[in-house]
Structure 1
Amino acid sequence: MVRPSKKSAIVEAAMRVAEEQGLSAVTIDAVAEQAGITKGGLLYHFPSRTALLSGVYEQLAADWEKEMVSAAGKPASEATRAERLAAYVRVARSMTRAELVFMADGAAHRDLFAPCAEVAARWTTPLPQPGVDDRYPREELRMLTARMAADGLWSYEALTGEPIPQALRVQLLEHIAASLDTTSTDSAR
């Protein structure tokens, strides 16, 4: 049985390597050194670089899910669409460089990114489908706009290198979440 604490320490070491040197530097040797274990010790828990990267995405997804459950006060399965999306919005936070690197790389490695995509699918709604005359329903546009605005906060920092002050971030996230009006008649699950 693999001890989760050792596995978690290895994942944290991989995140530190990515933070300091970028994703391409996340190698078995570099992570083993950062974790203070032998290469063989790392390979015992993660038999390949792909397995290691998969472990990082699994940990990112688990942490993200935990934050959203806390923000919603309940699991996604018990929350309305608006409550789920409001929780998603409220946990949109300043990401570390490592988190940004892994999230951005997820587009190129959908199989590794799957745990994060599954969490996003539980807490957000898919792109809306057009209605009559290719018009999208107003409620669907409102929900999508809130998601895009929340996603825009972390991408803004990634693209500009300019951190958003925490007080402003909190106000922006609350403003976006308020646009969802979770007390409305939206009871769709």
Structure 2
Amino acid sequence: MRTNKKHQLLTFAIAIVEAKGLDALTYDSLAQASGFSKSGLIYHFPTRDALLLDINTHLAQCWEEEMIAYAGGRAEEVSFHTRVHACFSTMSASATRAELRMSLDAATNPAMSSPWLEVFDRWGVPVKMVEENPDLYLFQILADGLWVHDHINGVKLSPTQRTQLIERALAIFDEYIEPKTKEKS
């Protein structure tokens, strides 16, 4: 399957954000990295905000595709248990610098955060669970923590360590947290 030009440009843009940060992403830097003309870039992304929104949308779609693959189906096709496992397992992988930078920047902009929140609404543990089942929401926070861990602690978990933590957390969910969720249903 041929990759379309817009997808190629998003790949180059994400690589710039990964390597040099969000401020380094300009039409000039993207034109230089991709070999596209600035007018070609403007055709696909009329404004920098359009480019940033498309990057956020692309990253959120990739995130959801990972969850679908893990779960064996779309969110509406699988059980709550499977959605939680898929979301936790996907989020427990270390974020790339680009994912982290884009999601942090998007958090303060409703338009930019919308693609992430739409995916999270389908797969994640809703914040209302803090009142209903705080253990379940703590499980979500644990996933968030594993996602950012390697970037904020100066210590990178080995694949074996990360796998051990994920397996243990999922076992705790299955043994202690999910039964409490079912009791309240």
What TM-score does the superposition give when structure 1 sets the normalisation length? Answer: 0.86
Name the CA distance, whole Å, in 1 between partners of 2:42 and 2:154. 35
Instruction: Quote the offset at 1:80 in angstroms.
Output: 2.3
Higher helix share: 2
Change (3 A) 1:118 1:70: same
Distance 2:129 2:36 in 1: 50
Moved over 6 A (4+): none
- Give the gaps of 5 or more residues in structure 2: none
Matched positions, count? 180
Residue 116 of structure 1 aligns with which residue?
116
Does the CA-based 8 Å contact 1:81-1:125 persist in structure 2?
no
1:173 aligns with 2:166: yes
Which residue is 1:133 aligned to?
none
| Residues 95, 120 of structure 1: alpha-carbon distance in 2 compared, 3 angstrom cutoff | same
CA distance in 2 between counterparts of 1:32 and 1:81 reads 44
Q: How far is the alpha carbon of 1:34 from its aligned partner? A: 1.1
1:157 aligns with 2:156: no
Larger RCO, structure (CA 8 Å, separation 6 or more)? 1
RMSD: 2.4
Letter in 1 for 2:150: E
Amino acid at match of 2:172: S
Asked if 1 retains the 8 angstrom alpha-carbon contact of 2:107 and 2:113, the reply is: yes
Could you tell me how far apart the structure 2 residues matched to 1:168 and 1:152 are?
Answer: 14
Tell me the alpha carbon deviations over residues 151-177 of structure 1, each in whole angstroms, 9 at most, x when there is no partner. Answer: 101222221232211111112112222
Unaligned runs of 5+ in 1: 131-135
Residue 148 of structure 1 is matched in structure 2 by: 141
Q: Percent identity?
A: 35
Q: Name the SS for the 1:70 alignment partner.
A: helix
- Aligned residue number for residue 16 of structure 1: 15
Contact kept? 1:32, 1:38, Cα under 8 Å: yes
Deviation at residue 144 of structure 1 after TM alignment = 0.8
Do the aligned partners of 2:16 and 2:25 also contact (CA within 8 Å) in 1?
yes
Distance 2:120 2:16 in 1: 25
Tell me what 1:107 maps to.
Answer: 107
Contact 2:31 2:41 in 1 (8 A): yes
Q: Does the CA-based 8 Å contact 1:128-1:141 persist in structure 2?
A: no
Counterpart contact for 1:57–1:115, Cα < 8 Å = yes
1:46-65 equivalences under 5 Å are: 46-65=45-64
Distance 1:153 1:78 in 2: 26
Question: C-alpha separation between the residues in 2 aligned to 1:58 and 1:129?
Answer: 26
C-alpha distance after superposition, 1:21-79 (max 9, x if no partner) = 11111111111211111111111111111111111011101101100011111111022
- Counterpart of 1:90 in 2: which secondary structure? helix
Does residue 72 of the first structure (1) align with residue 71 of the second (2)? Answer: yes
* Residue 179 of structure 1: how far off its partner (Å): 2.3
TM-score, length basis structure 2: 0.88
